[in-house]
Amino acid sequence: MTEFLFFSGKGGVGKTTMACTTAVAEADAGRRVLIVTTDPASNLADVFEQPIGHAVTPLAGVPNLWAMEIDPDAATAEYTDRTLAPLREIFPPEIVRVMEEQLAGPCTAEVAAFDRFADFLDPNAPAAPSAPDGFDLVIFDTAPTGHTVRLLELPEAWTKSISEAEAGAGQTCIGPAAAIAESKAKYERAVTALRDPRSTRFVFVLQPEATSISETRRAGAELAKLGIATSELIVNGIVPHEEASTPFFAARIAMQERYLGEIARQLPVPTRHVPLLDGEVRGIARLRAVVPLLADGGAARPVFGGERAAIATRTRAADPAAAFATLVPDGRPRTIFFAGKGGVGKTVVSCATAVWLARSGHRTLLVTTDPAAHIGDVLGVTVGPEPAPVAGVEGLWAANVDAKAAAVAYTDRIIADAVARGRSADSIAAMREELDSPCTEEMAAFDRFIDLASRDTYDMTVFDTAPTGHTLRLLELPIEWSRQIDVKVFASVETSAADDVAKARFGRVIDMLRDPAQSTFAFVMYPEATPIVEAERAIRELGTVGIPLGLVVANMVLARDVCTTAFARARYEMQQRYLADIEARFSVPVLEVPQLEIEIVGLDHVDDLVDRLFTIPSLVA
């Protein structure tokens, strides 16, 4: 029987590294292993330092190990072809064209990527080309937690949606239920596999920090509602005790010790501890060097710093004034998007920027589109789906894009509009059936984003976005929907004046996204290879739809004077090489944010970061 092993957790905690290390260890032990990533911004190829892509690919240097990166676009094409192939044989061309139009909606991409994921949980699915007849172990390197919980909710949600459509008018938001009825059995088998502790284990990776702990606790509770148990924790990135020789690292070690105690009390499941290393874990040799640490956190740490090259020369002098100028209004409202890989510190940077702007006299709205929604944790306040004032910061409002709450409001609005336009009872019943779909949450979240991005009642709107792949999808959706406004998601709703209104809304947001005078795209990264490469790919993709880069934020930068040991110097020198790389790759201002000795949780700590970071008040006078 194939075993399934999921690695999940907050962005940036080391899920991919732990998943890849485990895959190498299991394959070296003789098991046939497949590692699959469900993250649309995959780093598998970066960690293995080998090309992978949307096919099951054998990995050089590790017999018995294969890998695959699910590509949403390729999965969508495969799903559409597979769904329509049997229908082309039995329906006339004009009917098939209608079905093709329904499958052309942007929500099909999420369904298709999920459907490909479900294939790997289905024992009846055919073996992929170049793979063995079967795998002993399938490892899932998942997207950050909020998106993973949604992914794992989908098998049950789609099974329910298809069943209800079959019992009703036979229509789902991506076409007739008959076209996807075969999927129901596959999704039911996926649910069975996910809930079976004999075949499925779920490992949360976290770091000893407050936001990571709270996200793990919340996600574990959500999975428990689905009948999925947390099997194990891996606490990663623990600073070695011998580094406590400087006040900076001593403070970080003391902070981590407190959080390790909280983890033991709040999350009582088997736990492994993995130390922070002096360099990146990339390539087969380094992954194998980390394997002993997964078995025993007290094992000797490999030393990667000795392999380092000379520090590259920094070519640009620091220019914080140029960076700050991209973050302030210029006679008209401005929107700032902080994007980047999970765990690079987008939320902290977003909160600090919003507090700085508000305290400088600008009416500011801070919004998170990340389902993990940590801006409340960082600010120390409760943040809901509607903009509300942030206590302690005059001129600052905050909100989160809650997909479930948005779906209710979205459905109510569409039904109310249909009733107002005199739709028949049968038509409205069919619309309700189509809206009772897992797709509705994504469409509603997108609609809410459009609403918040369109508001001109604030001087500044700051978006703390989801990790890269999901943010790219969100930012490209206005363009996709605008192009396809005449292709109706709901077959019962013809083109109407409402579509013209929607297209006008999308047009305003598209213009705003593309105009540097109205918006700034700031990519946050820490100075290591994977966040830099991921940001460069994302920036290139946004460029294809006319959205320019405005700012790079280099976060968690170590100060030279706190790095006095061999371990700390190795990390400092690694960062300096990557800071030179950032300057060379991105021809925009670079804002450096220091690594602090404490975690930024609570308004006092946010204010401390603001004081250290934003040092030219004349820019916002």
One domain for residues 474 and 569: yes
Between strands 137-141 and 3-8, the pairing is parallel
CB 512 within 8 A of CB 475: no
- Answer yes or no: do 349 and 486 share one domain: yes
Determine the pLDDT at residue 5: 93
> pLDDT tens for residues 240-265?
999 998 899 999 999 999 999 999 99
Of the candidates 331, 615, 325, 346, the residue with the CA atom closest to the CA atom of residue 459: 331
Q: Into how many domains does the chain fold?
A: 2
Contacts 24+ apart (CB under 8 A), 419-424: 421/496, 423/492
Q: DSSP letter string over 182-244? A: HHHHHHHHHHHHHH-TTTEEEEEEE-SSHHHHHHHHHHHHHHHHTT----EEEEEEEPPGGGT
Q: Is residue 354 part of a domain?
A: yes
**Average pLDDT of the residues of the chain:** 80
The mean-pLDDT minimum among 86-90, 408-412, 448-452 falls in 86-90
Same domain, 328 and 391: yes
First to last CA, the chain: 66
Assigned domain for 526 exists:
yes
Single out the residue in 253, 278, 295 at which a domain terminates: 295
Residue located via tokens 């993709």: 541
Do 260 and 20 form a contact (C-beta atoms < 8 A)? no
Does residue 276 have a pLDDT over 90? yes
354, 451 in Cβ contact below 8 A?
A: no
Q: Are 169 and 97 in contact (CB under 8 A)?
A: no
What is the C-alpha to C-alpha distance for residues 343 and 370, in angstroms, rounded to an integer? 12
Highest mean pLDDT, choosing among 110-124, 291-305, 504-518: 291-305
Return all residues near 358 (Cβ < 8 A) that are at least 6 apart: 364, 390, 393, 394, 395, 396
Domain-ending residue, one of 260, 295, 330: 295
Q: What is the mean pLDDT of residues 574-578?
A: 93
Q: Which pLDDT band holds residue 194 (cuts at 50, 70, 90)?
A: confident
DSSP single-letter state for residue 308: -
The residue ranking higher by pLDDT, 142 or 7, is 7
350 and 287 together in one domain: no
* Least confident interval from 178-187, 398-407, 587-596: 178-187
Q: Alpha-carbon distance 457 to 405, whole Å? A: 23
Residue 301 lies in a domain: no
Residue 306 maps to a domain: no
What is the pairing mode between strands 396-400 and 388-389? antiparallel
* pLDDT score of 90 more than 50: yes
Going by pLDDT thresholds of 50, 70 and 90, the confidence category of residue 493 is: very low
To which residue do tokens 């485990």 refer? Answer: 22
> Per mean pLDDT, which range of 23-27, 134-138, 172-176 is the poorest?
172-176
- Domain boundaries, position 476: 320-613
Note whether residue 365 is domain-resident.
yes
pLDDT band at 439 (very low <50, low <70, confident <90, very high): low
Question: Average pLDDT in the 38-54 region?
Answer: 85
Contact present, 139 and 117 (Cβ < 8 Å)? no
Q: Is the pLDDT of residue 469 over 80?
A: no
Question: Are 402 and 279 members of one domain?
Answer: no
Residue 168 has pLDDT above 70, yes or no: no
DSSP annotation of 558 reads P
Residues 119 and 19 in one domain: yes
Helix (H) or strand (E) holding 24: helix 15-28
CATH of the domain at 324: 3.40.50.300
Per DSSP, the residues of 492-538 read T----HHHHHHHHHHHHHHHHHH-TTTEEEEEEE-SSHHHHHHHHHH
Tell me how many degrees the CA angle 302-307-310 measures, rounded to the nearest 5.
Answer: 145
Inter-residue contact 20 to 35 (CB < 8 Å): yes
Q: Would you say residue 293 has pLDDT above 60?
A: yes
Query: Is 311 part of a structural domain of the chain?
Result: no
Kindly state the average pLDDT of the residues 563-574: 93
The lowest-confidence range among 50-54, 181-185, 310-314 is 310-314
Q: Which token pair is 456?
A: 């001109």
pLDDT at residue 388 above 90?
A: yes
Question: What mean pLDDT is predicted for residues 19-45?
Answer: 90
Output 334 or 450, whichever has higher pLDDT. 334
Q: What is the pLDDT of residue 488?
A: 40
- For residue 486, the model assigns a pLDDT of 38
Report the DSSP beta bridge partners of residue 594.
557
**Residues in contact with 504: Cβ distance below 8 Å, sequence separation at least 6, in sequence order:** none
Tell me phi and psi for residue 320, to 5 degrees: -60, -30
Residue 478 lies in a domain: yes
Name the token pair of 564.
Answer: 């006095």
Q: Are residues 290 and 389 in the same domain?
A: no
Q: Name residue 357's amino acid.
A: L
Distance CA 567, CA 577 (A): 16
Do the domain assignments include residue 618? Answer: no
More confident residue, 170 or 298: 298
**328 and 287 in a common domain:** no
Please state the rounded mean pLDDT for residues 282-303: 91
User: Is pLDDT at 103 greater than 80 in this prediction?
Assistant: no
Does pLDDT of 130 surpass 60? no
Instruction: Tell me which of 449 and 608 has the higher pLDDT.
Output: 608
> Between β-strands 65-69 and 57-58, what pairing exists: parallel, antiparallel or unpaired?
antiparallel
CA distance 259 to 548: 40
Q: Which residue has better confidence, 65 or 171?
A: 65
Q: Output the furthest CA–CA distance in the chain (Å, rounded).
A: 77
Whether 158 contacts 118, CB under 8 Å: no
Q: Tell whether the model's pLDDT for residue 282 goes beyond 80.
A: yes
Degrees, nearest 5: CA angle 458-462-465: 145
Q: What is the DSSP letter of 273?
A: E
- Please report the pLDDT score of residue 116 as a whole number: 78
Rounded mean pLDDT, 277-306:
89
Domain boundary among 248, 280, 295: 295
Question: Which pLDDT band, with edges at 50, 70 and 90, does 66 fall under?
Answer: very high
Q: Which two tokens stand for residue 96?
A: 């098939």
CA atoms of 251 and 477, how far apart (whole Å): 44
More confident residue, 315 or 559: 559
**Predicted pLDDT at 221:** 87
Mark whether 283 and 329 lie in a shared domain: no
- Percentage of the residues of the chain whose pLDDT score is greater than 90: 37
Judge contact between 399 and 452, C-beta under 8 A. yes
- Model pTM? 0.80
Separate counts of helices (H) and strands (E) for the chain: 21, 18
- Residue 619 is predicted with a pLDDT of 44
Pair (74, 221) in one structural domain: yes
pLDDT at 126 over 60: no
281 and 364 share one domain: no
**Cα angle 579-581-587, degrees, rounded to a multiple of 5:** 95
Q: In the chain, what percentage of residues exceed pLDDT 70?
A: 75
| Co-location of 108 and 229 in the same domain | yes
Supply the DSSP string of 51-98, one letter for each residue: ---SS-EEPTT-TTEEEEE--HHHHHHHHHHHHHHHHHTTS-HHHHHH
